[in-house]
Chain A
Amino acid sequence: MGTAPPPGFPGSSYSSQVFLDVQGTACDPTAYIQADSFLVVNVWSSIVGTVNIDVTQVDPQGRVVPALFTVKCTSDRSENTLTFPLTEGFLMNVAAFVGSPKQTGQTFIQIVLQKATGTARAMLCQGYINTRCWVAWPNGRIRQPSEGLGNMLSVTGTTPAAGADISEVVPTGAIWRLIAFKFSLTTSATVANRIPTLTIDDGTNSFFAEAAQQPITATTTALMNAVAGGVLAYTTSAGIAWPLPANLWLPSGFRIRTNTAAIQAADQYTAPQYLVEELISG
């Protein structure tokens, strides 16, 4: 049996008053760690930050060996992986917590136990972490990325060029529940009846396309709102409202856009402001 942590094990041991007799101990076999085992930590995040991993083991001499290490996560929702070597002994607990403020739905973490000599893996825990919610083993959950409340995200989109339509894309690695979408169109003096159609597509083919109830005439600023559970409406002050399908979850690559009949070269849309509930896709 090895008595010292393998190289790279950044643990720190306090001088203990209590030593555990681990020889011949009957315990949960998932808690026994061979010297060639690793913790694999995968993190997906929509915001930069650090995730702290707290590990406690008992080595063959019965000493409690705590360790703390950090994973830096990028904000592009791609996978960030850290492999952490364990010492032989018993795994007592693993906990992941954030080092900077985060909302739920922003950072998803998965902690896996892996044998270096094979492909055998054991899932220990996974879920979203935030300032008040840790992910831990034992007694933690194995949560799916699509479970629970997501991150409420208010996004300012692209201001299109004059004469161009709005188009917003669900970014890679995210799924969005579209709640509200607000924008306005200022029309030029060119006489024409512009009819915006709010369109949602899968990147190619639309599955929702609803035209405004009234056309927008020249030299007008029309304020347009689309909201989940709303109604199709038009007001005398050039306000246009669209209903959005309830619980409209959109995966990566899906688009929310306008398609405006008779749009003129000098017509100008503002940048859309929209509210979505975001989860990491998976």
Chain B
Amino acid sequence: MRSHTFKCLACGGTYTTPASDGSIYFHACPPLPSAGGQPPQSRPKARDENVPAANPRAGAIVAEGAGVQCLSDSQLSEPAWITERKKRLAKEFPEDAE
């Protein structure tokens, strides 16, 4: 299974998935910095790639947010397409790898 490196367009963070052991990394944007003991505020257009807990088959990820850019393959730049790929990653088998 081939790994790709992505840049989150909401928080600017970069990450690689899947890991060498096949486990998927689920990126979620960090909250905005907080001060004075206040609870952290969520980031505008935050991305959360986790599977929805209430209905895991209803959608691919919790929040698309501002989308992502694929850094390891410039052809993979359309956010919705990457979300679909993320959904598919969870079902790929070694024999189906790209």
Contact = CB atoms under 8 A, between A and B. Distances in A.
A160 B11 CA distance: 7
A79 B56 contact: yes
Contacts of A156: 15-16, 19, 25
Contacts of B79: none
A205 B34 CA distance: 12
Nearest to A281: B53
Given A48-B91, A76-B90, A173 B16 contact: no
Contacts of A49: 93
A201 B63 CA distance: 20
A204 interface: yes
A246 interface: no
Interface stretch (A4-12, A83-91, A259-267): A259-267
Interface in B10-46: 11-16, 18-19, 21-31, 33-35, 39-40
Interface string A194-216: 00000001001110000000000
A171 B23 CA distance: 11
Chain A CB within 10 Å, residue with most, of B23, B27, B35: B23
A165 B92 contact: no
B65 to A, nearest CB: 13
A164 B13 contact: yes
A72 B90 CA distance: 11
Interface in B48-66: 48, 50-53, 56-57
Given A172-B53, A204-B39, A259-B40, A75 B22 contact: yes
Interface size class of A (residues with CB under 8 A): 35 or more
A171 B93 contact: no
B78 to A, nearest CB: 21
B91 A259 contact: no
Given A48-B22, A75-B23, A76-B24, A160 B12 contact: yes
Give the interface centre of A78, A79, A204 by most chain B CB atoms within 10 Å.
A78
Interface in A32-85: 46-50, 72, 74-79
Contacts of B13: 158-161, 164
Contacts of B22: 47-48, 75
Interface centre among B15, B50, B89 (most CB of A within 10 A): B50
Contacts of A153: 21, 23
A75 B39 contact: no
A23 to B, nearest CB: 45
B23 A166 contact: no
A123 interface: no
A219 B89 CA distance: 40
A228 interface: no
Contacts of B51: 76-78, 171-173
B71 to A, nearest CB: 11
22 contacts: A47-B23, A48-B90, A75-B24, A75-B91, A78-B56, A78-B90, A155-B25, A158-B8, A158-B13, A159-B14, A160-B11, A160-B12, A161-B13, A162-B12, A165-B30, A165-B33, A169-B48, A172-B53, A173-B51, A201-B40, A206-B39, A263-B33
Those 8 A-B pairs whose CB atoms lie nearest each other, nearest first: A161-B12, A167-B30, A78-B56, A76-B90, A158-B13, A169-B28, A158-B15, A172-B51
